[in-house]
Chain A
Amino acid sequence: MARFPARPWAHRALGSLGLLCALLLVLTSAAGASAFKAVVSSNGSFSTSTLQLEGTTAGPDNCYSTGSGAGGSVTASKHASVYARLADTDRPALQHCLVECHHDLDIGRQAERDFLDGELLFVRGGGARRF
């Protein structure tokens, strides 16, 4: 009686095929399952405010707490220094006048201001207040 040699590759192939069939069966069963369902989807959003200080002077330069113009990126510094440059012809003695403004989100409602001369506008919530 003739005996054929064992073929491991054939066994492995058959095993893989069996596994594939089982997986296919599971997948098709899962895909075929259905149920009544009702879904409502919506977005939730949360937004923060902005607090930016603008100093206007008699000269050509306005200053902003961000160190840039209106807008721009805000740093984490709680104490923003605004250097208001006054026009030389108006007040030579105050050529470089320091206006230091403490603006902190935590104490925003009572933001301190200090200025030596010139006009300072404290801008908050879209409004402007002249000191």
Chain B
Amino acid sequence: MRRIGGHKRALVASLAAVAALGMTASSTLGGFSAGISNSASTFSSATIQLEESNGTITCYSTGSGGTGGPVTATNTNTTCTINGLVGTLDQVPGGTALTTTLTFTNVGNHAVTVASLVMGACTQATASDANLYVGSDTSFCNKVDVTIANTTTGAIDKCVYPTQVAACPALANADNLSTLAAQTFTAAGPGPLSVLAPAASATYVVTVQLDSGVATNIDQGLTATVPFTWSISQ
């Protein structure tokens, strides 16, 4: 028993010695040092936001009512009400050509390298004011002549459709909404579209007319619709 008690005392004494040594070491050991803490280290991403305007209506890729706003995973606005073919009702063969000017601006802060225009399929339906008095043509899209010009200053190619060489030719039935449908135009190649630096704009002019040579009475009271999808990416 005496021996066990002796061991306990020895253990307690050892622990006390170690503790004392530690305290003295921390208080007596020293040296020069220097340090910097970067508490403001950050990493930020760029923004790419596309603005489309026809002079009356302005749409943003974010779907917001103006610049800014939250960005979704697709950053795609599918509810823009701008009519790429003007949309004026009651067109007649050889009537005054309809022209709309579309202006696109990169309102983000990153210079994009890709721009594209994807045309959807052309579909036809009864015109909204036809009062059920409609033509029987099932290929109405073929009767609407169209050109798309890139009028941006410094544009590599002035024409987007039908050719990608210099200025667009005059309207002709060889180039109509059916032949335009489902085509994709880009800035690669070089292509006819303009890539956009931050705050830069590109302007495109779409011209359409009901062809006077091929349209007949069966083309009365009809509407042709073609989706336009414009995009820019890094």
Give residues in A with beta carbon < 8 Å to B: 35-52, 66, 70-78, 103-106, 108, 125
Contact = CB atoms under 8 A, between A and B. Distances in A.
Interface of B: 45-52, 59-62, 74-78, 80-94, 98, 104, 106, 108, 110, 127-136, 140, 144, 177, 206, 208, 210, 212, 215-234
B131 to A, nearest CB: 6
Contact of B93 (A72, A106, A125): A106
Contacts of A76: 136, 216-218
A71 B219 CA distance: 14
Contacts of B90: 47-50, 125
Given A46-B177, A78-B217, A125-B90, A40 B59 contact: yes
B59 A74 contact: no
30 contacts: A35-B234, A36-B47, A36-B233, A37-B231, A38-B61, A38-B233, A39-B76, A39-B77, A40-B230, A41-B227, A42-B81, A42-B83, A42-B84, A42-B227, A44-B86, A44-B206, A45-B83, A46-B87, A46-B91, A46-B98, A46-B210, A48-B91, A49-B90, A50-B133, A50-B220, A71-B131, A74-B134, A75-B136, A76-B136, A105-B93
A37 B233 contact: yes
Contact of B50 (A38, A46, A49, A52): A38
B216 A47 contact: no
Contacts of B85: 44-46
Contacts of B48: 36-38
A43 B226 contact: yes
A77 B186 CA distance: 43
B129 to A, nearest CB: 8
Nearest to B140: A48
Contact of B220 (A49, A77, A106): A49
